[in-house]
Structure 1
Amino acid sequence: MGSIQVRQLGKAYKQYPTRWSRLLEWVTPFLGVRHRLKWVLRDIDFTIAAGESVALIGVNGAGKSTLLKLITGTAQPTLGSVTTHGRVAALLELGMGFHPDFSGRQNALMAGQLIGLSVEEVAALMPEIEAFADIGDYLDQPVRVYSSGMQVRLAFAVATAVRPDILVIDEALAVGDVFFQQKCYERIRGYCQAGTTLLFVSHAMNAVYSLCNRAILISAGRIALDSSPREVIDLYNAHVLRQRDGLPPPAPVAASAPPLPPPAETETGTKAGAEAGTEAASAATAATPVPAAAPATIGSFEHGGARIEAVGLYLDDQEAATVISDRAATVRVDARFGQAYDDPHIGFQIRNARGEAVFMTNTYCMRQRIGPVRAGEAVRAEFSFKASLAPGDYTITAGVAEGGAGDGDFRQTLTRQQDAGAFTVLRNLDAIVWSGVCNLDPIVEVQRQAATM
């Protein structure tokens, strides 16, 4: 139970040159077709086994939502087939299936029947639905007066009132508040541990890392990569950066990220970034091309205008593979430029063993201007910091960009090298005992008051 099989799936929509062409095709079919097919999905082929948690990732317009509609049966494919085994509960478009003039309670009753529950079963589950949605008296008000967050609360509460065999979620939780999101993720994890198959679409990559053990990247209606969340998200980030720069997406790379922890000696580079991507570079005057080296990891790429030659972690000017938590450390990035640039910048990112970014910045975001560079010039950037990280394995990604603007955006990305170095953080036996992502080094004050009678 709970499996999904997609075989050679394709979906196309008819496009007509004018609004009258559709009518003419209907009334004069013997004169031939007057439309052309616009393919939004082609050659989609994968299997999701029972109990798997899979994320669908892609830029807006890639075809993710269309694929979910085909899987859930709300749309029909042009080619291929979808086979599901087990009861499917889906949260697709916000408010889908809710009638705006009916109350939340009435809509919950109808939505429960649509997912295969009887009227008696929905009525018995209504107290639990009401408690989980937590929208108070609004449950008996028309849905048209609901906020988007209230609609999501009710829709999720109904869809997950009974553990489904297959749970499909399409960005629905993005509009909920943080407390409700945490409650939803807790329920999803519980269902996945109990054997529910999860198909999850989200642009919140931390949620993908947390919930999914596999990911599929959809690009231009086709599968670009089906692999671990870490590799798929790396390639997705490269797609986003290159799309922003008006460049074609990088080809998938067969190699995986290096095992952890290797010595931090690799000569491939990593990422320049602040939260929005924080990497880019602008075309400038031509000059000496930098010798191209094939990127070693998925998500790495370079344009030829710049190349990262070395990335490493240093302690007291010595390259190191380990660092004790809370001790001073330096990330060193060496870059060489193949042409002149007016405003280049270098950045780095530290990621944990799951691939989640725990910190990233660059020279632009640190208000440190490198200045114009000439063709053939080499630049070294050293980022010194206190390694207040949790014990574990980490990788370093670095990148070079040009033309800083706003709060960490750039005109164009020159190069990005994923997981170019790696290191291990060891526990600091002299520090407080703590857990989490980083040591906030708190100071505690305790005040007591005498008991009053």
Structure 2
Amino acid sequence: MSVLISVENLGKAFRSYPNARQRIKSWLGLPTHNVQDVWVLRHLNFEVYSGEAVGLIGENGAGKSTLLKMIAGTLAPTEGQIQLFGEVRAILELGMGFNGEFTGRENARHGLSMMGLSAEEAEALVPEVEAFAEVGEYFDRPLRTYSSGMQMRVTFAVATARRPQVLIVDEALAVGDAYFQHKSFEKIREMQQAGTTLLIVSHDRGAIQRICDRVILLENGQISREGEPEAIMDYYNAMLANKGNERHSVESEMREDGRVATTSGTGEAEITSVELRDADEGTPVEVATVGQTLELVVTVAIHEPVEELVIGYVIKDRLRQDVFGTNTHYLKAVRSDLKPGQTLNYRFRFPCHLGEGSYSFSVAAHADDTHVRQNYHWRDLACTFEVVNAQQDRFLGVAWLPPVLSIEQNHGDSQ
């Protein structure tokens, strides 16, 4: 695969001035005092290859949007260089480059012409933009009368009217309604399948894992780690829990099957054993059948006083996307005031209403309804199993929801 984006020793700093006087002196090229460079990004090195989809993740302020703006050419780097080897189109801000006094149709013509299309080519694509945006009569009204979601529809429709070699997408898509978000991601996937290279920022874990081949995690203005989406997203999720707690640790381990398992926590409570069993016979299960009654057994050891303990699990599919999750907070079975030396066995009994495929459990011991505030112990890939369909009618998907079918003939129909 050929390289389409090359980032070498890239850095971006913004100048901080003690007062307006020093700022003006800087503009005039005069000597200044007490001026500081605040580095947002530094020492970034990576490449994006033809046809690849790369996700950028990180906390707010990590520098994701700044990086995309430099790659798109709307912001100059302070150091390093970016090399682009193809046509790049970016969706970074709502209505970027549009005029609020112009109508959606006029802005579409202008936006398409800015892509290098002739007037005739742009005019030919306007109906396609109008159809995809689905803003109705507003397409012939000034852009200033649009909601943010409507602006996003027109912005996206214009940017994707002609497939680029490289498409850069920031969180701007998040402002759209659920229907248009789904429609937009389907369009992105179609472009990806046709050969477009993607660089995308999103907090939507599902979207990142469905679309991306690789994920880059930015932390404190630098690349913290990069790799397969499932492993990086698991690490990022663990990193966010108990942030600022010095006792909180995050570790990743390569399993024998090649997958990366992440564990994290502060250690007051430890998940010592996770086992999937047949609920009736009590025997371990590695291969379950559709409809079989299963039991997840989680053993937890208490090492230090714990005021509140919640145990939860999430079943994930082969792409590590959530299928179902619950915990003892939701089930109204929270334990309190636990002492060191205690051991608890949690038994979760459930029917295997899953489709054929590979699944895993992520299991957590924490306080509250989620692990974010107080994460004692979190284990990804704590238990894996396969599901086969040995007895039920054939069906598609990851959920077994067998219907009861009835067919009636209207009395007025001809016999």
TM-score (norm 1): 0.85
Number of the residue aligned with 1:319:
284
Quote the residue 1:8 is aligned against: 9
C-alpha distance 115-256 of structure 1, shift in aligned 2 (>3 A) = farther
Equivalent-residue separation in structure 1 for 2:104 and 2:52 (angstroms): 32
Q: Which amino acid aligns with 2:404?
A: I
The answer to whether structure 1 residue 148 and structure 2 residue 139 are counterparts is no
Q: Which structure is higher in strand share?
A: 2
Partners of 2:93 and 2:121 lie apart in 1 by 25
Deviation per CA, 1:98-143: give whole Å up to 9, x if none.
2111111111122112233232221111111111112121111000
Tell me whether 1:419 sits opposite 2:384 in the alignment.
Answer: no
Say which of 393, 398, 403 aligns to 1:432: 393
Which deviations, in whole Å up to 9, do the C-alpha atoms of 1:35-82 show, x marking residues without a partner?
111111111111011000111111222111111001101101111111
CA shift in 2, pair 1:144/1:397, >3 Å: same
- Whether the 8 Å CA contact 2:309–2:336 is kept in 1: the answer is yes
CA distance in 2, matches of 1:88, 1:326: 49
CA distance in 2, matches of 1:452, 1:347: 54
Q: Deviation of residue 2 (structure 1)?
A: 7.2
Deviations 1:297-331 (A, max 9, x none): 55311323222111111113222211111111011
Aligned residue number for residue 289 of structure 1 = none
Pairwise CA distance, 1:23: 3.0
Alpha-carbon contact 1:104-1:142 (below 8 Å) kept: yes
Look up the match of 1:137. 137
Counterpart secondary structure, 2:47: strand
Partner of 1:75: 75
Aligned to 2:235: 235
Question: Partner residue of 1:193?
Answer: 193
Match of 1:335 in 2: 300
Three-state SS of the structure 1 residue aligned to 2:336 is coil
CA RMSD across the alignment = 2.2
Which residue identity lines up with residue 49 of structure 2 in the other structure?
A
The superposition leaves residues 4-53 of structure 1 with CA deviations (integer Å, 9 ceiling, x where unpaired) of: 111111111111233333235556834x5421111111111110110001
- Report the Cα distance in structure 2 between the residues aligned to 1:376 and 1:45, rounded to whole angstroms: 48
1:345 pairs with one of 281, 304, 310: 310
Equivalents in 2 of 1:249, 1:303: separation in Å?
A: 4
2:255 and 2:190 map into 1 onto residues whose CA distance is 30
1:11-50 aligned at under 5 Å gives the runs 11-26=12-27, 29-30=30-31, 32-50=32-50
Residue equivalent to 1:259: 257
For 1:184 and 1:297, locate their aligned partners in 2 and report how far apart those are by CA, in whole Å: 31
Equivalent position of 1:304 in the other structure: 267
TM alignment of 1:66-145, pairs within 5 A:
66-145=66-145
1:274 — aligned with what?
none
Distance in 1 (CA, whole Å) between partners of 2:20 and 2:79 is 26
Amino acid at match of 1:299: T
Unaligned runs of 5+ in 1: 261-295
The one-letter code of the counterpart of 2:388 is L
State the Cα distance separating 1:343 from its structure 2 match.
1.0
Instruction: Please tell me whether the aligned partners of residues 350 and 396 of structure 1 are also in contact (alpha carbons under 8 angstroms).
Output: yes
Q: Distance in 1 between matches of 2:140 and 2:220?
A: 43
Q: Find the aligned partners of 1:23 and 1:178 in 2 and give their Cα distance.
A: 46
Whether the 8 Å CA contact 2:273–2:299 is kept in 1: the answer is yes
Letter paired with 2:380: Q
Distance in 2, matches of 1:256 and 1:118, equals 53
Matched, 1:447 2:408: yes
CA distance in 2 between partners of 1:369 and 1:179 (Å) = 37
CA distance in 2: counterparts of 1:188 and 1:413, whole angstroms: 36
Q: 1:168 to 1:339 in 2, by over 3 A?
A: same
Alpha-carbon distance, 1:354 to partner: 0.7
Residues 93, 433 of structure 1: alpha-carbon distance in 2 compared, 3 angstrom cutoff: same
Percent identity (aligned):
37
Query: Are the counterparts in 2 of residues 258 and 419 from structure 1 also a CA contact under 8 Å?
Result: no
Cα 1:143–1:3 shift into 2, 3 Å? same
Separation (CA, whole Å) in 2 of partners of 1:257 and 1:96: 45
Contact 1:2–1:165 at 8 Å: present in 2 too? no
Distance 1:446 1:18, change over 3 A: same
Count of paired positions: 411
Change (3 A) 1:409 1:145: farther
The letter of the residue matching 1:444 is L
- Cα offsets for 1:272-310 (capped at 9, x unmatched): xxxxxxxxxxxxxxxxxxxxxxxx955311323222111
Equivalent-residue separation in structure 1 for 2:190 and 2:247 (angstroms):
40
Quote the offset at 1:177 in angstroms. 2.6
Is the 1:236–1:299 Cα contact (8 Å) retained in structure 2? no
Q: 1:99 to 1:256 in 2, by over 3 A?
A: farther
Match in the other structure for 1:286: none
Q: How far did residue 417 of structure 1 move? A: 1.2
What letter is aligned with 1:372? D
Tell me the equivalent position of 1:224.
224
Q: Partners in 2 of 1:241 and 1:43 — Cα distance? A: 27
| Aligned-partner Cα distance in 2 for 1:56–1:226 | 9
Q: Distance in 2 between matches of 1:210 and 1:392?
A: 17
Structure 2 vs 1, CA of residues 225 and 251 (structure 1 numbering), >3 Å: closer, same or farther?
Answer: farther
